[in-house]
Structure 1
Amino acid sequence: MFRLWVKLIDNNHLLRDTVICDDTVDTRTHKVMNSIEKACYELDLSKPIWLDNIVKDFQLHNKCRFGKDAFIEEISFDYMEIQVLEEDY
């Protein structure tokens, strides 16, 4: 099972979070993208843009932050952080 933790952080405080589980037979990239889409729908957000530095952080650490510059719409928090909790190999 693949699990992705999505957190909304403002002033170093956790505002909201959700864990998205995906047990489909799909590529890791598709699981990440689908999980982010589900989380954004659940948290009533637009999907963020994957900037180069965000991609690099995610590839290195299985964790990254989407700041205000990664969203087209105005956001009411400092950043959205995603972290892979569990992966199936």
Structure 2
Amino acid sequence: MFRMSGALYQDGKLLRSCVSRQSGGLSRTQKVFAALQEICEYLDLAVPIWLESNIREFQQKSKTDFRADSFVEPIPFALLRIEVIEE
């Protein structure tokens, strides 16, 4: 079972969060993208753009923070943090 959490933060405080569960014969990358899509739908967000810094951080730590520069539209929070909980 692959689980990934997504959480919105503002001023260091947790605003909302959720967990996505993925299973099946998908690759890890496909599971990450599917989980991010599900998290964004639940939190009513557009899917953020993966910047080079996000890619590097996620590859190294299995988590990353998406800030305003990763979104096309203005966001009412400081960051969206995604993190793999279980693989």
1:20 lines up with 2:20 in the alignment: yes
Shift of 1:41: 0.6
**AA matched with 2:22:** D
Shift of 1:76: 0.4
Shift of 1:25: 1.2
Aligned residue-pair number: 87
Among all aligned residue pairs of Structure 1 and Structure 2, give the percentage whose two residues are the same amino acid: 38
Q: What's the secondary structure of 1:69's corresponding residue? A: helix
**AA matched with 1:65:** D
Shift of 1:23: 1.1
1:1-89 superposed matches below 5 A: 1-87=1-87
Q: TM-score, normalised by structure 2?
A: 0.98
Shift of 1:9: 0.5
Residue ranges of structure 2 left out of the alignment (5+ in a row): none
In structure 1, distance between residues paired with 2:72 and 2:55? 18
The runs of at least 4 consecutive aligned structure 1 residues that moved more than 2 Å come to: none
Residue ranges of structure 1 left out of the alignment (5+ in a row): none
Q: TM-score, normalised by structure 1?
A: 0.96
Deviations 1:2-42 (A, max 9, x none): 00000000000000000000012100000000000011011
Shift of 1:73: 0.9
